[in-house]
Amino acid sequence: MFNLFKKKENQQQVDNKQDILKPEEQAENLDKDKRDELSLEGTCINEKLDAEDSFAISVGNLKEKVSKTSEGLVSSIISFATGAETIDDDMLDEIEDKLIVADIGMDTAVEVIEKIREKKNSIRPEQLKDIFKQEFAQILKEAGSNKINLKENQLNIVLVTGVNGVGKTTLIGKLAHRYKSQNKKIIIAAADTFRAAAQEQLEIWAERAGVDIVGKYDSDPAAVVFDAIKKAKDDCADIVIVDTAGRLHNKFNLMEELRKIKKIIDREAPDALSESILVIDANTGQNGLKQAQVFKEAVDLTSVAVTKLDGSAKGGIVIGISKELSLPVKLIGVGEKISDLKDFNAEDFVSAVFD
């Protein structure tokens, strides 16, 4: 009853305001009021978003995927330590070089090696592998929870950013498939409107996953996001996944475009942005870290997805990202199939690389 009165009172305020608004603003306000009405009526009470673990990858399978990374990181540590009586500075310098080559990140490599150098007289060379494993596990843990953040009984928006070719569209297709299989209502916002091919590619993924898609080639990306949010509210959708452009040669414009998208999300659906995910290709190594700095500033990243981990020798970037950006890795791409997007589990990752 109270809500009804309140709604009536609000309606009066809106009506009064309409008189002094321009026609396009009036249209926008009416849309908003209609959406408010929908949520007031409680039609958007969605089913519980249950945590499924069928998207986990077994340590055995992960081990196979990260075998090259493991070779680069662990084999070198073992080969330097094998047969040595003590741990000396030269040995640690050489391991440091290997860690940098394996792309765990310069600062991370230096910091971990310095920590071990301080206690080198109290540990044995054969303990090194376990000590590195513990250090890396600690770094991954400190970056935060690896679980994708989705809220119950409300709209969730997942914003996906990253430079061209890293695997954003593929990841969105896989993610849509995952949530669809959990009976969630998904809408994809095709906000990479710059290339017609990008739209077509996403349409194919949407069709494969059996989810709705909003967006038109050459339209304003922020307007696509606006439309997707409107549709999501009208349809009581659970999740809107936003694809974005990634042409970095025009960095300033891209960041402006992304900021505008973020602004629309914050304005139209405050508190709905559950994840702002940066997608990084495992093979890009150090470059990935530099990209992340730029995106972090524009769209308030909450997490990272590392794609193409299958066959990459540079999977150590997972550790560098966690340490140097304080961002947890939450998803990993381990192949091109629709089921090849897995949850990242820090403990399993270090086991797969080190054991």
How are the residues of the chain apportioned to helix, strand and coil, as percentages rounded to the nearest 5?
55, 10, 30
Give yes or no for a contact between 184 and 214, defined as CB atoms under 8 angstroms apart: no
Phi-psi region of 311 (alpha: psi -120 to 50; beta: other; left: phi over 0): left
CB of 182 to ligand GDP, least distance (A): 21
Q: Which stretch binds Mg ion (CB under 5 A): 147-155, 196-204, 290-298, 336-344?
A: 196-204
By rule CB under 6 A, what string of x and - marks binding of each residue 304-323 to ligand GDP? Answer: ---xx-x-------------
Half-sphere exposure of 89 (CA within 13 A, CB side): 1
246 binds ligand GDP (CB under 6 A): yes
**Listing from the earlier edge strand, what are the strands of the sheet with 156-161?**
212-214, 186-191, 239-244, 156-161, 273-281, 303-307, 329-333, 341-343
Total residues interacting with Mg ion, rule: CB under 5 A: 3
283 binds ligand GDP (CB under 6 A): no
By rule CB under 6 A, what string of x and - marks binding of each residue 195-234 to ligand GDP? Answer: ----------------------------------------
Helix (H), strand (E), coil (C) string for 198-253: HHHHHHHHHHHHCCEEECCCCCCHHHHHHHHHHHHHHHCCCEEEEEECCCHHHHHH
CB of 279 to ligand GDP, least distance (A): 6
Closest CA to 129 of 89, 88, 65, 82: 82
Triad 330, 333, 338: Cα angle to 5°:
115
CB of 125 to ligand GDP, least distance (A): 36
CB of 281 to ligand GDP, least distance (A): 8
Taking the least distance from each CB to ligand GDP, the nearer of 100 and 163 is 163
By rule CB under 5 A, what string of x and - marks binding of each residue 132-171 to Mg ion? Answer: ------------------------------------xx--
Q: How far apart are CA 202 and CA 188, in angstroms?
A: 9
CB of 311 to ligand GDP, least distance (A): 7
- Residue 310 contacts which entry, Mg ion, ligand GDP, none (Cβ below 5-8 A, type-dependent): ligand GDP
* Residue closest to Mg ion (Cβ): 169
- Residue 315 contacts which entry, ligand GDP, Mg ion, none (Cβ below 5-8 A, type-dependent): none
Taking the least distance from each CB to ligand GDP, the nearer of 167 and 316 is 167
CB-count exposure of residue 7 (10 Å: 0-12, 13-18, 19+): middle
Q: How far apart are CA 80 and CA 286, in angstroms?
A: 24
Q: How far apart are CA 146 and CA 144, in angstroms?
A: 6
Among the listed residues 162, 285, 315, 320, the single contact to ligand GDP using CB under 6 A: 162
DSSP three-state, residue 332: strand
Q: What CA–CA distances, in Å, run from 109 to 93, 101, 171?
A: 10, 10, 29
307 binds Mg ion (CB under 5 A): no
- Residue 316 contacts which entry, ligand GDP, Mg ion, none (Cβ below 5-8 A, type-dependent): none
Among the listed residues 39, 164, 286, 287, the single contact to ligand GDP using CB under 6 A: 164
Q: Which stretch binds Mg ion (CB under 5 A): 120-128, 190-198, 290-298, 319-327?
A: 190-198
Q: Contact positions toward Mg ion, by CB under 5 A?
A: 168-169, 198
Q: Contact positions toward ligand GDP, by CB under 6 A?
A: 162, 164-170, 246, 307-308, 310, 333-336, 340
